[in-house]
Structure 1
């Protein structure tokens, strides 16, 4: 049976299974179903006094108990009985509205409900203001969702100094971020690895830009083009199952959000404590037009430029067993020692630019069609002067401890690297939705997504000194160790160095995803009870191409050898913390040299590092899925039950470099390319039970039993072996074609109490039973071919779990007198516990272990923010913190496990709205100048210590 035929059989089987589930009940209730099909249909819209849509409003039909929730444009659809029906519309922060509708069979009725239109005649408090409006939108959507959902609205995002989506999400309970040079890049949801969270834009799955992970670089996506971000922590059968931790959907704006000609935007600039000035700007234009305003168009633009100059020192630790020089019996000293110290002096410019647009057609209440697209580009252009003390080039001598060591024959390297990284993410989707007279809804979407990461420059010029005696001492401060090299002027003297090499490295990763999905939803009556049936199917195909080239040229003659170091240096001092690194390279002169010599150093096959072939791979992943679900209300309890089926076909190919005699035809430096390939397929079932119960209007309980999956990162499963040798040390990163996907059976339960007029106190507990959890293992000195190597590969742990509790408190203090009523608070705290058990035990004799904490999991996360909003003035002081977490497991020694130290950050924002559409605002970020720290085993073995400084931003917003 062919693959396509198999897919069709699976799709047909899943559809028939769904029909088999619903048909007997429908047949037994033909008369009731026929009545539903001719029932009047109410097309409603909920707006505020300014005409803005209110998403997440709850609509209750008083006579029947029917329930609906308004969508992003405040719209809803309900089939009601003939005659008079009373609609109660509830929305946190605004008084409940009641409206009566009279309808006859088969008639469509349009209903518009305005909340808070006449505050003078209402006894309830109406919450107004930019901060509180954003809070209201978020709380209403999560309050009335079927599953556990957290929502960030654009208004709420704009009140924090968060330039990208990753940093915006760190404010949500249970979400932490991983940073690069101080900026958020990846997210960890509920303590899970970043790859356990799928990301979509307007429902379109986004492929990762990196070749090494499925996790999406969220620093590529600016936060100012976002309408809202929805995090689904419990999935429904209608959602893709590839989100063990949670699914993030980034929603862009719609022209029907405001239903008129509208223009908004902002612009501003900032000062970086560790760098130059920054600029940011954005604008959105939208309008509705045509007969009865049935067409809508929107364009949103964003641009930012950030200059960064972080301070960075790295010390690479190993456990060394080499004999001491001069020892009488050559004993092994068995200590943790530093093999190299690297001082990085960055000059980095980061730019983000984004464009999103929408064309929508809504000719009547029951038909809508759209074409939506988004494009985001992140460019990181970096020059890095480095000074490197390489102790591993020499041998230990004299007294060695875990804090101090002296090496003879060590060397000092001085280098300039120019690295430019360019990420692009593009999404495009077109589709339509039609509502039938019986209330059934059919929707279909064709989507295309493309991610690309390129490194136009990864070029480096390296000079090396002669042999030296170097020592270090970390006993005084592991953040600021003492290095003997700084006690002389040798490292600053250009004649101490000679040309070592130039290197050129380029990468291109291209991921393209095409998908088609269709859903059908039908309200019906089964056994006298209102039931909403929904079923659908999706097919997606993703192609991945990763290509890397590495060249190294150590030719000792001109023009490759540029000669003396002095002519390539500038007069600009190079400083890192209190360490004087001498002077910087002249970046222009070195760039000119590298550009001139690139062709010479890369046109000969002999200069291409053969192992770079094995970094390349291709992959194709096809996923066919189908689901069926039923949703019913049993009094105040909403029950959703369903099943999703996903079939995955995966194919991949790579190359291996095999050693052959030098005379072998086609051999390069004694190696030839040998292609490798693999193919797997699997079918997974994802049952689902989701329950929501309203104890009363303000107290909501939730419970969910779900199942989800995380497929392996492509680079971990492709049959590739990337081997590099530097300084006599061979490092191997290899794929594991036998790697299995991680499956998780999940239990979620929670209580949410909504405070009036606006707030919530909630607690949510979760437990994830993990099977085949993927972990990365580093084995030092493992047997490899004819020698030994440091080997990195991914393996499956048969058992594991991830559990935790999230606490959340948000409240406006409107009950306080006078000016004090403008205060409010946001606070959340998450505690998690995780563990995996591996098939094998790792470590030296007497110190073996097979139980580990979960990489990426912090025991505690918390956010705390105090805000004030009154008479156009608003301010927010916020603090976010995550505790330490494990990054990589070392097979030999727990003392070489790589950890990331816990970190907190204090931010402040303020603004004043003049009431005429103009608003001035200011932001202060990282006021505590918190460092980013990584360490091996214990904090005293600091691997990386990096500081970014604070940032002050001032700007103006406008809205017309």
Structure 2
């Protein structure tokens, strides 16, 4: 499959971009003076982002950037007063003189609030909270941030687990580890992820969601979640946009390094796993200028061996006649090895006082090796709890290794002219998922030479954590023989290239400080998926399970049976035939090319800041795949294409009641494309005993569009302290869900036609509360006490439906992946030598999936979860610290259900994990 590129569209976009550049530069004339400088922490030289710097006489405000730099352009000659404001530090007031066509440089070295330890703005829990709060306070829009210091205080393994601590965010776990992030009740497919500002495609074949467990948390400097988009941002998020920032050499002065070695212990498998990580940065002088070149490097490697025990029904219950009867179930045992490694290399170069250039790179690789053993039970007649009934049983093995990779690289910079600031960047990102040939399923059925009726008489107790009662033969390997082996391989690639330019002009509007910004962007994305399936049958020789089994499975949910050796299963395969249909129907190539332009303006009127603007986006979509008609036995290629335009206005208002208290409001609009499985052109039509059934994607799906309203208040009473409350509402058009169109217009001859369609509307209404407090007013040693918490309450409604005798019947559901309540609570303590934190994370139940559109009893929900974690850090010296961490102290399980909590869909337990490590560092 080859990608088709619209030459004429690209030419038009280039012409438009050049016209914008010319228009921007045409405004460059001789200007008045300029004030610029840097904000850093005293002695350590750590750059402080988010500090406010105000020119009192002009009511103009600037915010320090990541390297601490701030700038005021186009300042008329005269005498002025600069005042700094940074949560956790004393304000500094300084007089400056500005002259025509000259730059006045003023650098500020901030110190901790009088009477408190210096570390309040350098390292530790309070310092991490301060950094995040300053960034949040000074932003034009609504966002939440977490710094590397704060990340290090939690026992989190990857990026998603670090994000779960923030207001309005929760995570979805895989085998107990955080994987996907939900923002304000929106599932992970509806949120954008960027690395150093560059959009990242997802490695999963079916989803847009970016699996953030791929990225090690050791390589990060900041995480920022934007909850209300400004027009200069990509509009591809309904819940929020998550930006992952890696280390920069200008985050701090001079040579910096940090080395960490750690070991972790898994309670479930009693396995110990190693981890090492190192980051370093330094500044160099190039071409006669002092420290104008920065180099930052980081590497991380973590190998974890663990497992879980599972029993699940998949919702296979019969609820007719008011009684619950089980139709089928599985016992599963997982043994998993996960290797997570990453490397970052960032170069920053300042060739002049007016130009900054950068090259940012982050590569991460995540290998998941999984051995899954299963006892698959299918009752001949649905069985009630405590009854004894006949059941067919299969022993199954799945043995696969899957590697996901994410690469992000961007080259760009900023040039400050007399009146204009120009930002420019070209970026490339790639995500991939590779699963080489593996045992997708080895099936051992009951040996009819051993068990005459090919079934066992079984019973079960407890409809939640289901326990099986079975005869001895059920567990004996001699009762089974190899029947079939399915081999599979999958390869998915998702590539994105983008180029953008932005122009910013500070100006005066009716005596008020203002800013004009506009820009253009073009991005091209290509995603392909290739699936291969082989089937092996008709084995020779002795195929009894005894020939492939070893020790007994260590299963915490009862007796299980023996393990199965995957290597021996593979060696038993003499010939495997490719399944051409299954190998083709999942293949696709999808492209999405997006061109965008925006304009926005900002004005400060007394204590008001108003930002408004509009973004235009055009997306050209193409899809190629395969269709199989079983009746005609024909496999055909098919393709689709369409184009959509969007105008997305925005309004942001911030009112400062005082320097410590501000009110925010925002009206924004955003758009998200449906998932790749939903858009896939693959179509499978099969006939079974005269019944025609089809399953297919829908490339003609409309994008989800959301209009968002936010309103809230923030109060910053002191060091590491905040109280905030935000209400939000989202009205979403074109919500996507799966349904059955069989028997309806266009599908009259189909008994079943399962596909995806657009619904009318979905609504989300929420309240987000957050508070933290460092008790600095208490006498020593209690002045090191910190308490923090947040809670988000969400209510959502989405309409879905299906057809009953040709008539469409609708019903309401909550948005999938949306918990009505999610909350965090933290109590911490720190002094010069010790830092400890106890953290609780809670999320209420949420809709996992709709199994039957017309049957509310078969909506699968994930039960509420409460996880307790503990971390302790002890500073042996200023540069050496020990840390101990304990995760999942309450042994929280994963439990999903149908109808109500007593009916199992899946039960899985993991146990606790303990970590011990040492870190060497130098600032």
Bin of the TM-score, shorter chain as denominator length: over 0.9
The Cα of 1:609 is off from its aligned counterpart by 5.3
CA distance, structure 1, for counterparts of residue 233 and residue 810 of structure 2: 38
Aligned twin of 2:562? 583
The Cα of 1:8 is off from its aligned counterpart by 5.2
Aligned twin of 1:327? none
Aligned twin of 1:667? none
- Correspondent of 1:835 among 782, 794, 797: 797
Conserved? CA contact 2:691–2:750, under 8 Å: no
1:672–1:778 distance in 2 versus 1, CA, 3 Å = closer
**Count of residue pairs the alignment pairs up:** 904
1:812–1:615 distance in 2 versus 1, CA, 3 Å = same
Aligned twin of 1:819? 781
Aligned twin of 1:880? 841
Mapping 1:69-88, distance limit 5 Å? 69-79=63-73, 80-88=75-83
The Cα of 1:916 is off from its aligned counterpart by 2.8
Structure 2 segments unaligned to the other structure (5+ residues): 449-453
Query: Could you report, residue by residue, the CA deviation over 1:480-508 in whole angstroms, capped at 9, with x for unpaired residues?
Result: 334232xx111122221122101101111
CA distance, structure 2, for counterparts of residue 849 and residue 406 of structure 1: 39
Aligned twin of 1:286? 281
1:458–1:337 distance in 2 versus 1, CA, 3 Å = farther
The Cα of 1:643 is off from its aligned counterpart by 0.6
Aligned twin of 1:374? 362
Mapping 1:137-148, distance limit 5 Å? 137-148=131-142
Aligned twin of 1:92? 87
Query: Could you report, residue by residue, the CA deviation over 1:307-333 in whole angstroms, capped at 9, with x for unpaired residues?
Result: 111111111333559xxxxxxxxxx97
1:132–1:283 distance in 2 versus 1, CA, 3 Å = same
Conserved? CA contact 1:876–1:908, under 8 Å: yes
Structure 1 segments unaligned to the other structure (5+ residues): 322-331, 662-670
1:479–1:395 distance in 2 versus 1, CA, 3 Å = closer
Conserved? CA contact 2:309–2:910, under 8 Å: yes
1:203–1:123 distance in 2 versus 1, CA, 3 Å = closer
Aligned twin of 2:405? 424
The Cα of 1:784 is off from its aligned counterpart by 8.5
- Correspondent of 2:484 among 469, 488, 501: 501
Conserved? CA contact 2:33–2:100, under 8 Å: yes
Conserved? CA contact 1:842–1:850, under 8 Å: no
1:820–1:847 distance in 2 versus 1, CA, 3 Å = farther
The Cα of 1:543 is off from its aligned counterpart by 0.8
Aligned twin of 2:52? 58
| Matched residue SS, 2:32 | coil
- Correspondent of 1:480 among 445, 448, 465: 465
Aligned twin of 2:108? 113
Kindly report the root-mean-square deviation, in angstroms, between the aligned alpha carbons of the 2 structures. 3.0
- Correspondent of 2:816 among 829, 840, 855: 855
| Matched residue SS, 1:231 | strand
Mapping 1:419-458, distance limit 5 Å? 419-438=400-419, 440-458=420-438
Aligned twin of 2:259? 265
Query: Could you report, residue by residue, the CA deviation over 1:110-161 in whole angstroms, capped at 9, with x for unpaired residues?
Result: 22101118957x9999666511111110000000000001001000011111
Conserved? CA contact 2:623–2:699, under 8 Å: no
- Correspondent of 1:617 among 577, 584, 588: 588
Query: Could you report, residue by residue, the CA deviation over 1:869-893 in whole angstroms, capped at 9, with x for unpaired residues?
Result: 1122111001000001112122131
Conserved? CA contact 1:119–1:126, under 8 Å: no
Q: Please tell me whether residue 154 in structure 1 is matched to residue 148 in structure 2.
A: yes
If the length of structure 1 is used for normalisation, what is the TM-score? 0.89
CA distance, structure 1, for counterparts of residue 118 and residue 303 of structure 2: 45
Conserved? CA contact 1:611–1:723, under 8 Å: no
Aligned twin of 1:384? 372
Query: Could you report, residue by residue, the CA deviation over 1:162-185 in whole angstroms, capped at 9, with x for unpaired residues?
Result: 111111110011111111000111
CA distance, structure 2, for counterparts of residue 703 and residue 380 of structure 1: 43
| Matched residue SS, 2:153 | coil
Aligned twin of 1:413? 394
The Cα of 1:725 is off from its aligned counterpart by 11
Conserved? CA contact 2:468–2:558, under 8 Å: no
The Cα of 1:17 is off from its aligned counterpart by 10
CA distance, structure 2, for counterparts of residue 262 and residue 132 of structure 1: 21
Mapping 1:735-746, distance limit 5 Å? 735-746=697-708
CA distance, structure 2, for counterparts of residue 259 and residue 525 of structure 1: 35
Q: Please tell me whether residue 519 in structure 1 is matched to residue 502 in structure 2.
A: yes
Conserved? CA contact 2:88–2:718, under 8 Å: yes
Aligned twin of 1:295? 293
CA distance, structure 2, for counterparts of residue 205 and residue 70 of structure 1: 24
Aligned twin of 1:325? none
Conserved? CA contact 1:95–1:124, under 8 Å: no
1:722–1:887 distance in 2 versus 1, CA, 3 Å = farther
CA distance, structure 1, for counterparts of residue 212 and residue 743 of structure 2: 36
1:768–1:691 distance in 2 versus 1, CA, 3 Å = same
Conserved? CA contact 1:552–1:609, under 8 Å: no
The Cα of 1:648 is off from its aligned counterpart by 0.3
Aligned twin of 1:48? 41
Mapping 1:555-570, distance limit 5 Å? 555-557=538-540, 563-570=543-550
Aligned twin of 2:244? 250
Conserved? CA contact 1:369–1:432, under 8 Å: yes
Conserved? CA contact 1:73–1:256, under 8 Å: yes
Aligned twin of 1:134? 128
Conserved? CA contact 1:129–1:872, under 8 Å: no
Aligned twin of 1:362? 350
Conserved? CA contact 2:430–2:496, under 8 Å: yes
CA distance, structure 2, for counterparts of residue 118 and residue 184 of structure 1: 37
1:883–1:185 distance in 2 versus 1, CA, 3 Å = same
1:306–1:785 distance in 2 versus 1, CA, 3 Å = farther
- Give the stretch that moved more between structures: 533-542 or 274-283: 274-283
Aligned twin of 2:520? 537
The Cα of 1:647 is off from its aligned counterpart by 0.1
Q: Please tell me whether residue 574 in structure 1 is matched to residue 553 in structure 2.
A: yes
Q: Please tell me whether residue 306 in structure 1 is matched to residue 337 in structure 2.
A: no
- Correspondent of 2:443 among 454, 458, 462: 462
1:158–1:243 distance in 2 versus 1, CA, 3 Å = same
The Cα of 1:281 is off from its aligned counterpart by 1.5
CA distance, structure 1, for counterparts of residue 293 and residue 687 of structure 2: 61
CA distance, structure 2, for counterparts of residue 724 and residue 91 of structure 1: 66
1:614–1:104 distance in 2 versus 1, CA, 3 Å = same
Query: Could you report, residue by residue, the CA deviation over 1:611-657 in whole angstroms, capped at 9, with x for unpaired residues?
Result: 33111110111000000011110111111111100000000010011
Conserved? CA contact 1:267–1:956, under 8 Å: yes
Query: Could you report, residue by residue, the CA deviation over 1:922-941 in whole angstroms, capped at 9, with x for unpaired residues?
Result: 10000000000111121121
CA distance, structure 1, for counterparts of residue 641 and residue 9 of structure 2: 16
Mapping 1:342-353, distance limit 5 Å? 342-353=330-341
Aligned twin of 2:626? 655
| Matched residue SS, 1:157 | helix
The Cα of 1:597 is off from its aligned counterpart by 5.6
If the length of structure 2 is used for normalisation, what is the TM-score? 0.93
CA distance, structure 1, for counterparts of residue 322 and residue 827 of structure 2: 52
Conserved? CA contact 1:611–1:722, under 8 Å: no
- Correspondent of 1:38 among 15, 31, 38: 31
Aligned twin of 2:710? 748
CA distance, structure 1, for counterparts of residue 402 and residue 816 of structure 2: 26
